[in-house]
Each structure stands twice: as structure tokens, then as C-alpha cells.
Amino acid sequence: MMSSFEEKPYWRPHYADDISTLLPTIKKYNKAIRKFAADPVNGEDLQAFMDYHRQEFINEYNRRPKFFAAEVEDDIAYKTRIQHRNLKDAIEYVFGDTLFSDKLRVNFDSKLPKTLHSLIGKELFPDTGIYRSSNTNPKGYKFLYLHPNEIPNWLENVFADINTPIGLGVEDWYDKATEFFDRFLYAHPFVNGNGRVARFLVSALLIHHTIVPVCLFSWKPDSNPIYLHVLQEAHEFGNNRLLKSFIIEAVHGNLEKCVQMLDVPV
């Protein structure tokens, strides 16, 4: 049962549906898209959408690399191409070529973050796939992330919890995914790239509900500040309820865009 705080988060207009009412709509969209995709007649349209969605997914992750002022335009273009290539490789590694699936190509275990970090940061990050060895905190905040000595055991426990076989309802699974996201970001296991790895992992966790990897904030204009605020709420005040609402809304938005662009009967 959601509280009014979660049902009507501050960023949604007063006339918008409650967050919990999006869950049955997500299920309806999911079923309709699967039926649409199963018809060979729709193959070309589906492929066109997947190509579009893959680029949208990459754009969300494809933050501008940090360049030195002395670098020339060719170097900047080269690093941008490397970043784009890395993200494509990471997507294919986790979700496959088609980008349309409810089954991952990889085991969802504590080894996956290191592999993803190595793929995303190849030729861009120092020490790819290696946990940080010093304390760190969000820029401008006194809040400290997990002590580096605790990272390995912490992540083992986080993945063990998410992989524990229990019968979860739909809303319970969003609770679980939100908790996982929050705990992983608190661990902040790498020097950089933690947000990108965390979003990849949550997209993987939710793939059965979303069919395609979910774009958490690029699906709707001006969502990035909200995303940052709900993360701050979770980290500083221990309240991840708004983060859960944000994730549910993003899943709904991604599927609704798919339905609208493909003109899927629902």
C-alpha cells in the first residue's frame, strides 16, 4: 500500500493518475507489446523502434567525457566515439542484439558490476573494474559513501538479497529493485561511473516488466533534476519511496512511448 507521499509525488501534476494505478497499465502495455512483437508482420517496425530506443538509451548514459583544454577536436571526437562504442558493447553484453527480451544474457551476480564498469569505461576510466580504495562523498555534501574496506562484502549481500527466491507481487518487486538501486549507489564501489553501472543493473532487474531497457530520466524532458533529487532524498534522509515512484513512472513512460510509436493496440 502506497502512502500519499508516494502516490502523488511533487513533480506530477495534480490531475495525473496515482502512481499505483500505473502498475496495471504497465502490465497491459507489456502484454500488448509482446503480442505485437510476436507477429512477423511487425518485424520491420519493431526493429526500427529498437534502433531508436537503443540510441535513446545510449544518449542517457553518454555523458560528455572530461577533456583537457589543450585537446584538439579530433581527440574529443575520438573519445566520444569510444564512449558510444563502449555503451553499445555493454548493452549487447547484458541485453543482446535485439534489445527486446525478458531474459538476460548474463548472470545477475556480484561479478556483473565489475564487468559492466570495465565495458563502459574501457579507454576512458582509470582502473576499470576495480573497486575504489579511498573514502569519497558526493560533491558539495558531507555525506560519506560506504567505507572502501566494506564494499566487497556489502555487494555480495546486496546481490544475495536480490537473488533470494521469494514470491513477490509486482509492487513488491519495485520495492526490491528500488532498495537494490539505493544500496548499490550507497556502496559507490568505483571511482567514477557508478550511476551508469547502477542504472544498467536496475534496467536488467526490471527487464521482465519493461521488455526493453528502461531509460530512467531521458524518456521525459526535465526529468534529470527530479532524478537527482530523489537520489538525494534516499541518501541523505534514508527515504527511497520517491525513488520507487520515479522508477515506476519511468517504466510506464518507456512502455507508453513504445505503444504510441508503434501504434500497438491496447
What does the pLDDT read at residue 235?
82
Residue tagged active-site, from 14, 53, 84, 188: 188
Residues contacting residue 137 through CB under 8 Å, at least 6 positions apart: 143, 144, 145
Distances 158 to 154, 155, 192 between C-alpha atoms, Å? 6, 5, 20
pLDDT score for 64: 52
Please report whether residue 159 resides in a domain.
Answer: yes
Q: Quick check: is 165 in a domain?
A: yes
Cβ neighbours of residue 152 under 8 Å, at least 6 residues apart? 131
The reply to whether 188 falls in a domain is yes
Q: What is the rounded CA–CA span in Å between residue 150 and residue 155?
A: 9
Whole-number pLDDT of residue 70: 52
The per-residue pLDDT for 101 is 74
The pLDDT, as a whole number, for residue 79 is: 79
Number of domains in the chain: 1
Q: What is the pLDDT along the chain (266 residues), one digit of tens a residue?
A: 566 678 888 888 888 889 999 999 999 999 999 999 999 999 999 999 999 999 888 888 875 545 445 556 667 777 788 988 999 999 999 988 777 777 788 999 999 999 999 999 999 888 999 999 999 988 777 778 999 999 999 999 999 998 876 556 677 889 999 999 999 999 999 999 999 999 999 999 898 888 888 999 878 878 888 998 998 888 888 889 999 999 999 999 999 999 999 999 99
Is 11 part of a structural domain of the chain? no
Q: Is residue 10 part of a domain?
A: no
In a domain, 18, yes or no: no
Alpha-carbon torsion (145, 146, 147, 149), positive or negative = negative
pLDDT, position 163: 83
Instruction: Note whether residue 5 is domain-resident.
Output: no
pLDDT on residue 119: 97
Residues 77, 81, 86, 91: is their CA dihedral positive or negative? Answer: positive
Residue 22 lies in a domain: no
Dist. CA 26–CA 21, nearest whole Å = 9
Domain range for residue 65?
30-262
**Active site annotation includes 188:** yes
**Among 121, 91, 113, which residue's Cα sits nearest to residue 104?**
91
Full-model pTM: 0.89
pLDDT of residue 61: 80
Residue 186 belongs to a domain with what CATH number?
1.10.3290.10
For residue 168, the model assigns a pLDDT of 60
pLDDT at residue 222 in the model: 81
CA nearest neighbour of 180 among 226, 243, 264, 138: 243
DSSP annotation string for 140-171: T-------GGGHHHHHHHHHHHHTS-----HH
